[in-house]
A and B are shown apart, each in its own frame.
Chain A
Amino acid sequence: MKHWPLLLLLPIVVFTHHAAAQEDPWADDDWGDDEWTDEDTGLTWSGFVEAGMGTRSTKDRLLDNRNSLEDLRWRVETEWQPDDFSVSLKVDGRYDGIENKWSLDIRDLTLAMSAGANTDLRLGRQVLTWGTGDLVFLNDLFPKDFVSFFSGRDDEYLKAPGNALRLTHYHDALNVDFVWTPAFEPDLYLTGERFSFFSPMTGGNVAPAPPLSAVEPDHSFSNGEFALRLFKTVKGTEYALYAYRGFFKQPGALTPALEPTFAPLGAYGASLRRTLGPGLFNTELSFYDSRDDRSGSDPLIPNSQFRFLLGYEWEAKPNFTVGLQYYLETTLDHDRLIANSPFPEFEPDEFRSLVTNRLTYRAGMDKFTYSLFSFWSPSDRDFYVRPQFTYRHSDSWSIALGGNLFGGDKADTFFSQLQDASNAYLRIRFQY
């Protein structure tokens, strides 16, 4: 909390931008003919300033700080568009009170251009997403920031940026998306700094100091990540095929020296999304090939898996949307996994199922949004519930109030290990 006087900066920033806003033609009530925002008058700068504060419902005895979020963030965005290419920039200057550090997070710094009439190229640091799941990812193996997600930052921060080259080719017969990430970009996993996590070694939660730092693969061409998507929409039905070569994004493996690391992974999948009845239907599947443990007998490396998703979303009443998903994760060669594991009681079940529900209600001309997203695993007997209320007061000011609630019967399951991380948060944002 000692750095919270920094919040005093907020009004200064806001005031400065209010003053600047007076020159913005949009701030003028006169909608005369000459008041249209001009094009091509150089760079447009925009962004936001946001303060976020979150605290746990109960203290995690392994961690000194009861708070789960102490963020002060200044986003700056711009785009430069000469004739043949464009350069975009999105950067967050940020003070994180939990980790007690300042940082400059580049979310986007890309050069985009067309290579021929039907091919787009995007090179640089960028956020990438594909697949049909709603907060459930099968073939989307781009980096995710679960620490941000669990601590109540904006949903946007669930997707972490990566340094990559994306080539997309559009063709009448088939569209092809290819992403090369030269240096492996893992998820931002639980390290014990903000949230403690379950360790099979101790049979309980740990919060190591220094925080967990998994061993990343050496940099080499073959240790890069290669992701491919073939996709096409036919009469409103979206079909896609996926392939990936890289590593598991979470440090679920151990080196021979028993340090956490990322096991080599190949993934092959498909998805379909279309309108069905009054709503939208999606299904996706993926085969995770654990390249270094195809027999499933190596206790240090996760086994191969088969993942499957079904989803349906519809507008139940005006402004009220309901989404349901069923997700099943099948661990292959499960008998061999259990037979060889030093901690058979903490290995995943052969079948891990997950049901999700999203409820969204918008009111007052979309100024108020009430949302509730729930994960519930019948097999792990654990849950994760995300209520959130957002109020968009004006084009400048908005607030978000929400919570992240975790629970479960067993200590070692994914959501259950986060029980002491259950938190409530408030974010105030000024957009400029």
Chain B
Amino acid sequence: MIKKTFVTIVAIAAAGMAGADTLTDANEIVERANQAAYYAGADGRSEVRMIITDAQGRQQRRQFTVLRRDVKELADQQFLVVFSQPSDVRGTVFLVNKHIDRDDDRWLYLPGLDLVKRISAGDKRTSFVGAHFFYEDVSGRPHSDDEHELVETDDTFYVLRHTPKDPSNVEFEHYTTWIDKQSFLPMKIEYKNAAGDLYRRVEVLKTELIGGHPTVTTSRVSDLLTGGNTDMQFRFIQYDVGLPEQVFTERSLRSPPRDWLKRPAE
């Protein structure tokens, strides 16, 4: 009996290890990575700091709180981004309703004018509030926008190459991701342009296990042509906090939901 149990355990463990080692379908890997990077828990909150360094070494900073709610797993999501620093953007609020089957709805609240500004649907691969990160890096690029190909599997990473279905929409010719085989977090993404130059790199510098989810807590995007980079640091992260749908409405633009933005005790 004992022997049989032991054999079963070994078999399960082996199957589990084998499972982790034998993913060969690029789309499945991309989906797992997407889940790990953007859909951990049913919702989440985090405070974020960015330090933006230009090619001359001059620095700017941004600080904001992000609230996220998944409307549907691996599909529609809602984001609320409330800026607290620097002082000229304090009180600025972004509201994003991300859709899989149509263009995202995005609003920006400018407190100086009490203006709820709608942002047009394009405008995704441009700087996010002056950082080297793009809007799309923050809310995720729909994986149906690219063709995915598994080019290499080593002990640590799945290496995938992604080619855009509509090259006119993007500035890259293709990009390559290194996806951690255990956590499925994309640990490095490198973008090449039509000239074949490597011009942009996004890399994870630090991860932590939070609420059972492997979570990126520091990442960096570098402009490899002109120099300069942005470090993004996440803290006070919580998952499954029970964010209601009402938090992601026009009300939160003018009156940010203080109870949900409040920093939790660590």
Interface residues of A (CB under 8 A from B): 26, 29, 31, 36-37, 39, 46-48, 77, 81, 112, 114, 120, 126-130, 154-156, 158-159, 168, 170, 175, 231, 233, 236, 238, 273, 275, 278-280, 313-315, 318-319, 321, 362, 365-367, 392, 394-395, 431-432
What are 13 A-B residue pairs whose CB atoms fall within 8 Å in the complex? Answer: A29-B59, A36-B49, A39-B263, A47-B87, A48-B87, A127-B113, A129-B114, A168-B251, A231-B250, A233-B250, A362-B126, A365-B130, A366-B129
CA distance A278 to B249 in the complex (A): 23
A279 and B130 contact, CB distance less than 8 A = no
Residues of B within 8 Å of A158, CB to CB, are: 113
Contact of B115 among A36, A129, A168, A394 (CB under 8 A): A129
A-B contacts besides A48-B88, A159-B113, 7 pairs, CB < 8 Å: A31-B233, A114-B255, A236-B97, A236-B102, A365-B127, A394-B60, A395-B61
The 8 closest A-B pairs by CB, nearest first: A46-B87, A315-B122, A156-B112, A129-B114, A236-B105, A395-B86, A366-B130, A315-B123
Chain B residue nearest to A39 in the complex (CB):
B263
Residues of B within 8 Å of A432, CB to CB, are: 87
Residues of B within 8 Å of A120, CB to CB, are: 251, 254-255
Residues of A within 8 Å of B103, CB to CB, are: 275
Residues of B within 8 Å of A278, CB to CB, are: 120-122
CA distance A431 to B120 in the complex (A): 29
CA distance A128 to B114 in the complex (A): 6
Contact residue range for chain B?
A: 35 or more
A31 and B49 contact, CB distance less than 8 A = yes
Contact of B51 among A31, A280, A394 (CB under 8 A): A31
A275 and B121 contact, CB distance less than 8 A = yes
CA distance A120 to B119 in the complex (A): 25
A315-B87 contact in complex given A128-B114, A170-B251, A367-B130, C-beta closer than 8 Å: no
A314 and B258 contact, CB distance less than 8 A = no
B153 within 8 A of A: no
A318-B131 contact in complex given A26-B85, A168-B254, C-beta closer than 8 Å: no
Residues of A within 8 Å of B59, CB to CB, are: 29
B52 within 8 A of A: yes
8 Å CB interface, B83-106 against A: 84-88, 90, 97, 102-103, 105
A318-B171 contact in complex given A31-B49, A278-B122, A365-B130, C-beta closer than 8 Å: yes
Chain B residue nearest to A273 in the complex (CB):
B118
B49 and A313 contact, CB distance less than 8 A = no
A365 and B52 contact, CB distance less than 8 A = yes
B162 within 8 A of A: no
A392-B114 contact in complex given A315-B123, A318-B125, C-beta closer than 8 Å: no
Interface residues of B (CB under 8 A from A): 47, 49, 51-52, 54, 58-61, 63, 84-88, 90, 97, 102-103, 105, 112-116, 118-123, 125-127, 129-132, 171, 228, 231, 233, 235, 246, 249-251, 254-255, 258, 262-263
A402 to nearest B CB, angstroms?
Answer: 17
Chain B residue nearest to A322 in the complex (CB):
B120
A159 and B114 contact, CB distance less than 8 A = yes
Contact of B47 among A36, A313, A431 (CB under 8 A): A36
A279 and B120 contact, CB distance less than 8 A = yes
A37 and B63 contact, CB distance less than 8 A = yes
B252 to nearest A CB, angstroms?
Answer: 10
Contact of B126 among A112, A159, A318 (CB under 8 A): A318
A81 and B87 contact, CB distance less than 8 A = no
Chain B residue nearest to A318 in the complex (CB):
B126
Residues of A within 8 Å of B54, CB to CB, are: 365, 367
A363 to nearest B CB, angstroms?
Answer: 10
Q: Which of A128, A155, A365, A392 has the most B CB atoms < 10 Å from its CB?
A: A365
B122 and A156 contact, CB distance less than 8 A = no
CA distance A238 to B249 in the complex (A): 12
B232 to nearest A CB, angstroms?
Answer: 11
Q: Which of B85, B102, B171, B262 has the most A CB atoms < 10 Å from its CB?
A: B85
Residues of B within 8 Å of A154, CB to CB, are: 112
Q: Which of B52, B88, B254 has the most A CB atoms < 10 Å from its CB?
A: B88
B98 to nearest A CB, angstroms?
Answer: 11
Residues of A within 8 Å of B113, CB to CB, are: 127, 129, 155-156, 158-159
A206 to nearest B CB, angstroms?
Answer: 32
B54 to nearest A CB, angstroms?
Answer: 7
